């Protein structure tokens, strides 16, 4: 895992966009973002049991797997959004970027690769993209039935109870 402030320069979203300003795991945790490195599935299973994740699936994001829909999907994943559930991703192959909003509403880019697991809290604004290799194979973990409902950022979404709880817990004060 490598985390840093996003440089906001124009160019393909799949490029590193590394500003050179590093962010450490402690700073991520203050945003509610938890990072783990698990070289074996038993560690993932233990975390899943400890946190009450009952379901999981696996997804491959690549042109080979998704065909013509790939570019459209990657653009959709890159729209700023939040979820009303935690988002948990364990990278089993390839690599990609999760961008999350800092306390100052700047983008923090988190580069994940094989054996990295990231937990995003409900209510955090974020987005995802593959890197230039256009391949990531990930396990998604869910507390209940698998679902992935993005709520795209808007001024109305700030009144969402999950967003309000996130702001109160991690951004206020």
How many angstroms separate the CA atoms of 169 and 163, rounded?
A: 10
Detail the residues annotated as belonging to a binding site. Answer: 81, 83, 87, 126
How many angstroms separate the CA atoms of 134 and 62, rounded?
A: 6
Detail the residues annotated as belonging to a binding site for Ni(2+). Answer: 81, 83, 87, 126
How many angstroms separate the CA atoms of 52 and 144, rounded?
A: 9
SS3 per-residue string spanning 95-157: EEEEEEECCCCCEEEEEEECCEEEEECCCCCEEEEECCCCCEEEEEEECCCCCCCCEECCHHH
Judge contact between 136 and 92, C-beta under 8 A: no
Judge contact between 23 and 108, C-beta under 8 A: yes
Detail the residues annotated as belonging to a binding site for Fe(2+). Answer: 81, 83, 87, 126
**Looking up tokens 């700047």, which residue turns up?**
106
């Amino acid at each position: 895992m490598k985390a840093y402030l996003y440089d906001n320069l124009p160019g393909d979203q799949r490029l590193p966009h590394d500003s050179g300003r590093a962010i450490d795991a402690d700073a991520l945790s203050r945003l509610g973002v938890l990072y783990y490195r698990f070289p074996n599935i038993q560690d993932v299973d233990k975390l899943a049991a400890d946190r009450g994740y009952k379901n999981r699936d696996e997804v491959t994001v690549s042109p080979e797997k998704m065909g013509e829909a790939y570019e459209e999907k990657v653009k959709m994943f890159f729209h700023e959004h939040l979820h009303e559930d935690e988002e948990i991703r364990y990278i089993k192959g390839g690599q990609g970027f999760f961008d999350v909003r800092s306390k100052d509403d700047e983008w923090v880019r988190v580069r994940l690769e094989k054996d990295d697991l990231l937990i995003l809290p409900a209510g955090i604004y974020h987005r995802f993209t593959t890197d230039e290799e256009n391949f990531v194979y990930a396990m998604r973990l869910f507390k209940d039935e698998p679902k992935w409902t993005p709520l795209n950022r808007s001024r109305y979404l700030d009144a969402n109870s999950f967003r309000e709880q996130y702001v109160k817990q991690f951004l206020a004060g």
